[in-house]
Structure 1
Amino acid sequence: MAKFLFKVGRWSYLHKWQVIVAWLILLAGTAGAALTLSKPFTSEFSISGTPAIEALQTLDDNFPGSGDIANAPTVNLVFAAPEGQRLDSPENMAAMDATVAYIADNLDGITSTERFGNPVEVNGELTRTIVGQMTEMGLPEESAKADAYNVRTLSDDARIGYTTFDFGAESSMTVTQEERDVVNRAMEIGRDAGLQVEAGGAGFGEPIEIKSTSELVGLAVAFVVLLITFGSLVAASMPVITAVVGVGIGALLIVLTTRFVELNEITPVLAVMIGLAVGIDYALFILSRYRQERQRLSGPDAAGLATGTAGSSVVFAGLTVFTALVALALAQIEFLTWMGLSAAVTVAISVLIALTLIPALLGAWGDRAFAVKIPGVAGNPGPGKRPARDLARRSMGRSWVNVVKRFPAVIMAAVVLGLGALAIPVLDLQMSLPADTTSNKDTTQRKAADLMAEGFGPGVNGQFLVIVDAHNVNPDTEILQPFMDAMPDETGGDAEKAALASFLYTVSEAKSVNGIRHAQLVAVNDDLTAAQIAATPTTGPEEEFTLDVAHGLRETNSRVEDATGVTIGLTGLTAVQMDITEELAGAMPLYLSIVVGLAIILLILVFRSIMVPVVAGLGFLLSVGAAFGVTIAVFQMGFLDLVNTPAPIISFMPIFLIGVTFGLAMDYQVFLVTRIREHYLKERGSGPGAEIRAVEEATVEGFAQGARVVTAAAVIMIAVFVAFVDQPLPFIQIFGFALAAAVLFDAFFIRMTLVPATMFILGRATWWMPRWLDRVLPEVDVEGTELEKEFERA
């Protein structure tokens, strides 16, 4: 591969304008196709196959037109009177009437208006209707009143009330800003009259807003770091240019893909974040190697050799990132799969850009590739000073690796214990998807959820919906006979009685589940073959206990199915989100084992060593654990009050963080250790202690040569990720923070500290490998050693 890449780099240098124009034409063509053929992104997260989603299909089969209740554009409008007042006072009643009337007059097509209106009036009418209907069905009046109380719209002290309706939009994700504005203006009417008025619900979620400044900030910081690294305006601009071209093509391809696949609007954000980071880094590695080779070779040969050596490492590193992102499909969550594939394609393009466009730009600039030098930077002479002969000889990297050489055991222990301590919060990891109950405390959505919990109990925000399909109910089931015998004769035949009995039996069993405050029958279809049962937990959707309650409900429902022959599903927004969270949590161990196992196998192939891959894999676990730990401490536990609303970590962040961090960790492992191995292969000899001296000298020299560029690459990547912490959406903030922390820990504490420390401790065992395994495994020359030998001979 190194020889082929040498030819690619040399050809690109010599045919510079053809390469540059080809990439620009591809960028323009992709832009034209994207603008012409693309469709709008969706705000919805595509999911299928979970039990709660399958239950929604059962609901739609038996209650046609019910729609997807998990994505219904429902709004909860919540009123709260000042302390010491009641909503049923004349002035507060007038304020609520005016608020509700404004919505009714200015919103077209609202649906699900059964509970829409003044909460005080709706509550009275709702109570009378439910008690009347339930007693007619033979339910005791006490039970009927309990059902009515459970769905009340006015709190016991009459200070808090709410009303609900659905926007006319198809789903919660297609609600327009104009519709939200009507509700906002209506709320101001109530607030001006002295009430607290808040709105929440799936239909009134915060609109997805993405700031375009993050990429610009990341690029600006990257340019400054490149300027310090190369000391040249021209050289610093090249990785930025190639990264922008690569990410531009990648993002436009994602936009074009919307013609064929429905993609969430967050998909390109994550692809751009990762694509920018790796694109700049890959170009940096090749450009740095070119500068080194250019001191002794002509431009075309230096470009070819840089592409053949550093470019081989870029291909390997890009392949690991690509594989880790594609493997996100293992979670079997559609939106996560498309996020991973989109980011993977962007990474692949970044690799191709680095291998061809960087040599072409070097050819275009020629001897001016490192022109416009900044005095006193990167070895450039300051005013009145002579230029530095060898920057690596007096670098901070050399000083640091010599410190590690003196105290390897102490430093290794400090890194392991320190990162291990930072990983402790992982034991308290809680995961969920965004909801009103986890929104920022300053938002009206969170205030609405808090008022609902205060007035009606936290479970009102996390109700479950039980769907009972009684098409195959067994009328002879003994457990249903008491319910059937209590029904009046005019109820119908045995099949109808058995179906109704199964509904009532399911309700009674659901009530017995620990953590269910109340369960009640809320709807029966026209032919009496299916029913909807609302089950209200005692805790909110963000509580871990609510997940246990869901499992308890499913176990109880399974027993009811076995006893009666009915089919029961558990769904609702809370159940859907919990299923997704559990799917992702269940996929993490498999995914983690695959990526770590893949890392060890690939590194054994590359470095012909057992210990180097083992240390790399264990180091990855340490760095990703520490990144998880600090992210959980800050965003979930509220450490140092850095965020004003601590909440469970978004469900798909951990598995995505594992994939991206794995790829980036292997980047730094390859780029740093290949330089060390190059020196080791050259310096190892025979005689007492020669092997040990070769390991130590190679570790120092290889580290000194690679540390500067790896440091620059890590700082650039951290800057790009940190820039996304400024995004308004909490889960993008968490992604930016977590990825930045992961790169920080992995690059500086693992690759540049723990790895050389273990090499000094292990000595010649660092590069030990069983002879039989060495013979079996194919040769993978990532360093381009054979290429260099052949080039020197020529």
Structure 2
Amino acid sequence: MAELLFRVGRFCARRAWTVLITWMVVLGLSTTAYFVFGGALSSQVTIPGTATSQVIDQLAEKFPSASGGNGTVLFHTADGSAFTADQRTAIGALLKSVGDLDGVASATDPFITQQQLTEQTQQVQGGQQQIAAGREELERAQNAADALPEAQRKQLDAQRAQLDAQAAKLELSQQLLAMSSKIRMVSVDDTTALASVVFDEAQMNVTPETKDGVVDHVSAGVPAGVEAEFSNEITQSVPQILGVGEVAGLVVAAITLLVMLGALIAAALPLLTALVGVGVGVTASLALSGAVEMLSITPVLGVMLGLAVGIDYCLFILNRHRRQLLDGVELRESIALANGTSGNAVVFAGATVLVALLALNVTGIGFLGMMGTVGAICVAVAVVIAVTLTPALLSLLGLRILTRKARASIGQSPAGRVPATPMTTGRALLTAVAGLAVLIVLALPALSMRLGLPDGSSEAEDSTQYQAYQLIEEKFGAGVNGPLLVVAGLPAAVTDDDTLAEQARIGTAILGQDNVTAVAPIGQSSDNTLIAFQVVPAEGPNSETTEQLVRDLRELSPLDGDVTLGVAGSASGNIDISEQLSDALPVYLGVVLGLSLIILIFVFRSILVPLTATLGFVLSLFATFGGITAIFQWGWLGSVFGVHDPGPVLSFLPTILIGILFGLAMDYQLFLVSGMREAYAHGASARVAVRRGLHAGRTVVTAAAIIMIAVFGGFIFSHTTMIRSLGFGLAFGVLADAFLVRMLLIPAVMHLLGRSAWWIPRWLDRILPNVDVEGAALERSHPITHDSVGDTQQEPILTLR
């Protein structure tokens, strides 16, 4: 591979303009493909086959009117006064016109609905009074029944039976009204009203255009003195890819590069190649969205990875090339050598990230596999650009990537001082113990980690979703933000006369569960075999009590008479998704750890080095989980990271982090420990080799880690909750792994292990192929100026004035 990359680098350097134009054409083609073939992105996290999905499919088949997606529009008076008659009329007319929009099935008028509920209660009470009066009249007639003819006595018996039947029906109606009495469409103080918008399609199939149409239409038609807020189900859309925070992250990365490299042109080169790579990778991936379902956060993940690894991979090759230029190597020869050595390491490092990301497909969860695939595409593009476009640009820039002072000293730069003594064993032991203790403390919060999906409470405080969520909780109760849809499947169709009795019986059983505020029947299927209920929990959709309520309702099935219960709704769907992701997590972690051991055994020809590297990855991973739990679930430092309402950790975040952080951890392990191995192979003692390898790679790894932290950290301040937690997790994970594990814990452990760190059974050593990651064979065939212990043991000349 190293020889092939050497030739590729030499060709790209000679045909620089051809390579540059080719990549511009590729960028143009991928962008065109996106506009031609790209489709709508989904804002709903769904997994086919879950219990919630099965209920939705059942509703779509037998009760289509209840299977469409829905959202809530909340109207409230601006000054907190009661709605006026004109405002009520205007809102009703507005909602009627919303029902005529494309993609909308209906929109309920909350004032009419509330009035109907009031009238139903009054009718039942009036009917009960009439029955009571009729019973009194019958009682008086019964007292004189002995004096009446037989026919009149039979008529009285028939009237009594009729009254008893009506009384029983009214009793059932009264029971159902009592169950749903706490469900209101208009608040008690008459300042807030809830309107439900039902879409033609299922929630996951509602297009952003349909949602935007509802928001725009309502916002334009709200009467004077009234404001409208929209729930998450209506306002979820494609997140912004580059905002102020993301740009700030790129600025920090640029400053880091400038400080490292000392030349503006050299600092701009990694940014340029990374941006081209992101442009190609993300647009090519989005072109697939017309054929496959893709979550809206997926391209954001591609941007994160493309920028971070694109900058770092170019930096590794650029840094090697600059060092060789200072040693007096001819320009194009240096480019080819840098591509064959550092470029070879880049290809291997990228391959580990690719393997980890593509392995997300083994979880069997569609949207997660697609996220991994898109991330892998962006990383693959970054690798190809690093070993093709970077050499071309280096050729075009020539010696301008060095400062004037550095150009004047080409061929005269002294070799870096190589450490000749190891660290002390006491220091190594103290470092290992302290590093291990810090990682364990950081990981402790992960013991209480809960998984879930964000709701309106986790959105930005100035967003309409957050305002709607808070007003609903204040005026109607927290459970109204996440009502459950409970579907009762009957063994046989019920007659119209028995429907009320069955609704009351099933509703009573549901209401008897803990943490249920109200139950209301919302209809039945046309074949009378399915009855649907709206169930309002006592707390919000992400609360532990609501999760337990979903489980309790499912365990309640079957009821007497073989009535099966199914639960759907956003809260139920979130719970199902989180549980399935939790079940897939150990399997995926096992696959990744197995890959880690195999890959590192091939690279380092050792047993203990891969084992310590893998254990270090596990430690940094759980430390990352702990940090995420403390910030996003416990709310620590919430004001710093924009966490105003702590909640569960994003359900698919741990799985995504395993894949990405594994690849990045192996990158840092490679660039540090390969230097140790080379020093050991050149005759240095095992412990001296540890210090020399760390000395050789620490600066470039530090810079690479800072760049990644800056790029990922820029996404922490996104307005989208999912992106914030993903950005934090990646930034914190790189921080923990690069600085605590790779540059502190691993060198200390390697020192303590001594020569045993490089032990490998002879039979295994014989059968393992020689994976020349650093391109040592290439260096021997193309010799350049080195110091006595090898080029990778020198302190990289990163700041060249």
TM-score, normalization: structure 1? Answer: 0.84
The equivalent residue for 1:623 is 620
Q: Does 1:645 align with 2:644?
A: yes
The equivalent residue for 1:412 is 432
The equivalent residue for 1:593 is 590
Shift of 1:419: 2.0
Question: Quick one: structure 1 residues 13 and 528, their matched pair in 2 at CA, closer, same or farther if it must change by over 3 Å?
Answer: same
The equivalent residue for 1:303 is 335
Question: Quick one: structure 1 residues 445 and 491, their matched pair in 2 at CA, closer, same or farther if it must change by over 3 Å?
Answer: closer
- The whole-number CA distance in structure 2 between the counterparts of 1:207 and 1:283 is 30
- The whole-number CA distance in structure 2 between the counterparts of 1:343 and 1:776 is 34
Which deviates further from its counterpart, 725-734 or 204-213? 204-213
- The whole-number CA distance in structure 2 between the counterparts of 1:538 and 1:666 is 47
- The whole-number CA distance in structure 2 between the counterparts of 1:34 and 1:749 is 41
Shift of 1:200: 3.1
- The whole-number CA distance in structure 2 between the counterparts of 1:244 and 1:206 is 24
Q: Does 1:124 align with 2:118?
A: yes
Shift of 1:408: 0.9
Which one has the largest radius of gyration? 2
Alignment counterpart, residue 279 of structure 2, candidates 248, 261, 276: 248
1:392–1:705 Cα contact (<8 Å) kept:
no
What letter corresponds to residue 654 of structure 1 in structure 2? Answer: P
Shift of 1:602: 0.9
Alignment counterpart, residue 450 of structure 1, candidates 470, 492, 514: 470
Once the two structures are superposed, residues 350-372 of structure 1 have per-residue CA deviations (whole angstroms, 9 ceiling, x without a partner) of 11111122222223334x15334
Shift of 1:173: 4.0
Q: Does 1:140 align with 2:139?
A: no
Q: Does 1:51 align with 2:51?
A: yes
The equivalent residue for 1:548 is 548
Question: Quick one: structure 1 residues 346 and 500, their matched pair in 2 at CA, closer, same or farther if it must change by over 3 Å?
Answer: same
Shift of 1:328: 2.1
- The whole-number CA distance in structure 2 between the counterparts of 1:44 and 1:14 is 49
The SS at the match of 1:163 is strand
The equivalent residue for 2:376 is 344
Alignment counterpart, residue 729 of structure 1, candidates 711, 717, 720: 720
The SS at the match of 1:569 is strand
- The whole-number CA distance in structure 1 between the counterparts of 2:627 and 2:355 is 26
- The whole-number CA distance in structure 2 between the counterparts of 1:55 and 1:103 is 29
- The whole-number CA distance in structure 1 between the counterparts of 2:32 and 2:650 is 36
2:55–2:567 Cα contact (<8 Å) kept:
yes
Once the two structures are superposed, residues 236-272 of structure 1 have per-residue CA deviations (whole angstroms, 9 ceiling, x without a partner) of 2322222122111112202322332243333222101
2:519–2:536 Cα contact (<8 Å) kept:
yes
Alignment counterpart, residue 215 of structure 2, candidates 170, 180, 188: 180
What letter corresponds to residue 670 of structure 1 in structure 2? Answer: L
- The whole-number CA distance in structure 2 between the counterparts of 1:785 and 1:768 is 21
Once the two structures are superposed, residues 533-590 of structure 1 have per-residue CA deviations (whole angstroms, 9 ceiling, x without a partner) of 2233222211112111111111112x33xx6455542111211121112122222222
- The whole-number CA distance in structure 2 between the counterparts of 1:506 and 1:210 is 48
Question: Quick one: structure 1 residues 639 and 392, their matched pair in 2 at CA, closer, same or farther if it must change by over 3 Å?
Answer: farther
What letter corresponds to residue 779 of structure 2 in structure 1? Answer: E
Once the two structures are superposed, residues 171-214 of structure 1 have per-residue CA deviations (whole angstroms, 9 ceiling, x without a partner) of 374445453244346667345xxxx8754362255774444555
Question: Quick one: structure 1 residues 68 and 167, their matched pair in 2 at CA, closer, same or farther if it must change by over 3 Å?
Answer: closer
- The whole-number CA distance in structure 1 between the counterparts of 2:76 and 2:367 is 32
Once the two structures are superposed, residues 1-37 of structure 1 have per-residue CA deviations (whole angstroms, 9 ceiling, x without a partner) of 2233233223333333333332222222223333344
> Which runs of 5 or more residues in structure 1 are unaligned?
476-483, 485-489, 685-693
- Where do 1:349-360 residues align within 5 Å? 349-360=381-392
Q: Does 1:609 align with 2:640?
A: no
Q: Does 1:427 align with 2:447?
A: yes
- The whole-number CA distance in structure 1 between the counterparts of 2:465 and 2:112 is 20
What letter corresponds to residue 651 of structure 1 in structure 2? Answer: S
What letter corresponds to residue 748 of structure 1 in structure 2? Answer: F
- The whole-number CA distance in structure 1 between the counterparts of 2:522 and 2:167 is 14
- Where do 1:147-546 residues align within 5 Å? 147-154=179-186, 158=189, 161-166=192-197, 171=206, 173-177=208-212, 179-184=214-219, 189-191=224-226, 198-200=229-231, 202-204=233-235, 208-213=239-244, 216-294=247-325, 295=327, 297-366=329-398, 368-373=399-404, 389-390=413-414, 392-393=416-417, 407-470=427-490, 472-473=491-492, 505-546=505-546
Alignment counterpart, residue 572 of structure 1, candidates 569, 573, 593: 569
Which deviates further from its counterpart, 438-447 or 518-527? 438-447
Question: Quick one: structure 1 residues 532 and 40, their matched pair in 2 at CA, closer, same or farther if it must change by over 3 Å?
Answer: closer
The SS at the match of 2:689 is helix
1:696–1:760 Cα contact (<8 Å) kept:
yes
2:218–2:228 Cα contact (<8 Å) kept:
no
Which deviates further from its counterpart, 587-596 or 120-129? 120-129
RMSD (CA atoms): 3.5
Shift of 1:135: 7.3
What letter corresponds to residue 662 of structure 2 in structure 1? Answer: F
2:211–2:235 Cα contact (<8 Å) kept:
no
Question: Quick one: structure 1 residues 644 and 230, their matched pair in 2 at CA, closer, same or farther if it must change by over 3 Å?
Answer: closer
Shift of 1:168: 6.3
The SS at the match of 2:523 is strand
- Where do 1:709-720 residues align within 5 Å? 709-720=700-711
- Where do 1:55-134 residues align within 5 Å? 55-69=55-69, 72-77=70-75, 82=80, 87=82, 92=84, 95-104=87-96, 108-109=100-101, 111-117=105-111, 121-125=115-119, 127=121
- The whole-number CA distance in structure 2 between the counterparts of 1:134 and 1:446 is 47
Question: Quick one: structure 1 residues 713 and 162, their matched pair in 2 at CA, closer, same or farther if it must change by over 3 Å?
Answer: same
Question: Quick one: structure 1 residues 410 and 249, their matched pair in 2 at CA, closer, same or farther if it must change by over 3 Å?
Answer: same
What letter corresponds to residue 8 of structure 1 in structure 2? Answer: V
Q: Does 1:25 align with 2:50?
A: no
The equivalent residue for 2:749 is 758
2:229–2:467 Cα contact (<8 Å) kept:
yes
- The whole-number CA distance in structure 2 between the counterparts of 1:129 and 1:356 is 80
Question: Quick one: structure 1 residues 135 and 719, their matched pair in 2 at CA, closer, same or farther if it must change by over 3 Å?
Answer: farther
The equivalent residue for 2:677 is 677
Shift of 1:97: 4.4
The SS at the match of 1:526 is coil
1:190–1:197 Cα contact (<8 Å) kept:
no
Percent identity of equivalent pairs: 35
- The whole-number CA distance in structure 1 between the counterparts of 2:548 and 2:303 is 38
Shift of 1:739: 1.1
Q: Does 1:769 align with 2:769?
A: no
The equivalent residue for 1:707 is 698
> Which runs of 5 or more residues in structure 2 are unaligned?
128-164, 786-801
2:553–2:565 Cα contact (<8 Å) kept:
no
- The whole-number CA distance in structure 1 between the counterparts of 2:459 and 2:783 is 62
User: What is the count of residue pairs matched by the alignment?
Assistant: 737
2:186–2:192 Cα contact (<8 Å) kept:
yes
The SS at the match of 1:39 is coil
What letter corresponds to residue 286 of structure 1 in structure 2? Answer: I
Shift of 1:62: 0.5
Question: Quick one: structure 1 residues 204 and 189, their matched pair in 2 at CA, closer, same or farther if it must change by over 3 Å?
Answer: farther
- The whole-number CA distance in structure 2 between the counterparts of 1:16 and 1:536 is 66
2:459–2:465 Cα contact (<8 Å) kept:
yes
- The whole-number CA distance in structure 2 between the counterparts of 1:304 and 1:253 is 29
- The whole-number CA distance in structure 1 between the counterparts of 2:16 and 2:232 is 57
Question: Quick one: structure 1 residues 712 and 204, their matched pair in 2 at CA, closer, same or farther if it must change by over 3 Å?
Answer: closer
- The whole-number CA distance in structure 2 between the counterparts of 1:460 and 1:73 is 12
Once the two structures are superposed, residues 251-301 of structure 1 have per-residue CA deviations (whole angstroms, 9 ceiling, x without a partner) of 220232233224333322210111110011111112222233342543344
TM-score, normalization: structure 2? Answer: 0.83
Shift of 1:464: 1.5
